[in-house]
Amino acid sequence: MPWQNKIMRTVRVRNELIPGTLARLLTAVAERNGSIGEIRLIREGTKAIVRDITVYADTEEQMADIIEAIRANPGSRVLEVRDEVLEVHRGGKIAIRSRYKIDSLATLRRVYTPGVAQVSMRIAKDPKLAWQFTSISHLVAVVTDGTAILGLGDIGPVAGMPVMEGKAMLMESLVGLSGVPVLLNTKDVDAIVDAVAAIAPTFSAIQLEDISAPRCFEIEQRLQERLNIPVMHDDQHGTAVVVTAALTNACRYANVDLHKATIGQIGLGAAGMAISRMLMHISGHPVLGADLSEDALQRLESYGGKRATLDEIMAKADIVIATTGVPGLIKPEMVRPGQIIFALSNPKPEIEPDAAIEAGAAFAADGKSVNNVLGFPGILRGAVDTHATRITPEMYLAAVHALVAHTPEGELLPSPLMPEVHRAVARAVAEKALEQGVAQADYVPYVTDDDEEEEEGRVTI
């Protein structure tokens, strides 16, 4: 995506019908190193034309300079400047809607009192019926304490709400699960575990989001021990699944054997640690890990990895993965010819892919190429559909294989907008849950509105 990570504004401009007015405006933007996206005609009159012009810049200061230049353009008048990102979020991005229209007393009595008592009594006698007669079967808690929001750090749970809403949107749009954001105003591990455990009966699964390391490891482990539903920290496992799938494809293109290669992981936070564990599970060999934290290094060693320095990893590893958040950490002169380098920090990688390739890398990618939206929706859907009690390493690995199988030739990963990819991940995870005996129900694949006409007779869970 050419404009990813740039600032965008939509400027509504009224240009007088004087030759050269629009050309001068576009030139003014270009002279300030801005870029033009869509130009949309809004209204055409006998004396002027009103257009919406999408403008991109690298910084807020540059954008302000560009907009002032547009205002100063002879024959142009700026009517409005819109931040489309903010507009999309206005009022929030999600809402709870009723599935039935309450337009009669008869309907009211069925969905509420007195009819609802019949359903409640049945569930009281057999709690498993809640999966059939309530929304628990598709509700997933998206839980954060706001301590590691995107690459922004500890900005608090309320500031994390737009991200949690986005996760919920993706769940619903891609696999039909209903994500419910849960913001916890505490950083205390015991309090978080107790709070999530207390609300867990509402949900079919728990997705932990943007909780800082090393607390996230203990929180996930303790919750999974206490609960009989899947608990998944997406920053760990969702990221590990997608990175491993991408790495599998990259190894094929670069003719590198993933099972025999020496792998180095730079940065052992939530994502780096989970990636290391998954790659050790696959290869059976220790991953070399570098981090400034002694606790992180000891944790890696407890999982079977080996501590190393940045220089040692760059000198010895055939595959280098970096998740440090430090732009430019890997210098071109550190790159060894033939290496595969995944510099995954956003928005700025540890080394730009073009620079890594120029320095001799056989394959290089950054975080913009590896999107974990390919992982968590299908993984959770497969686990929920089988009423799995937990998500095992083998279930995560099944998701990896599904992503690899659906990657078009020559691409690093499939498009996250392809519904069939998420279905494939869900099916692979569900089948592995059944195979391993962690499922509590037979697998009935979910269907979307687009599928219903073609797949009549299947049941939506």
Catalytic residues: 112, 167
> Phi and psi at residue 435, in whole multiples of 5°?
-65, -35
Q: Ramachandran region of residue 348, left (φ > 0), alpha (ψ -120 to 50) or beta?
A: beta
Residue 209 makes CB contacts below 8 A (sequence gap 6+) with 142, 143, 144, 160, 163, 164, 167, 233, 234, 235
Burial (CB count <10 Å: 0-12, 13-18, 19+), residue 269: buried
N-terminal to C-terminal alpha carbon distance within the chain:
35
Token couple for 177: 């699960």
CA angle 444, 449, 451 (to 5 degrees): 60
120 within 8 A of 187, measured Cβ to Cβ: no
Beta strands in 4-147 (DSSP E): 7-16, 35-44, 48-57, 76-82, 139-144
Over the Cα atoms of the chain, what is R_g? 25
Distance CA 126, CA 144 (A): 32
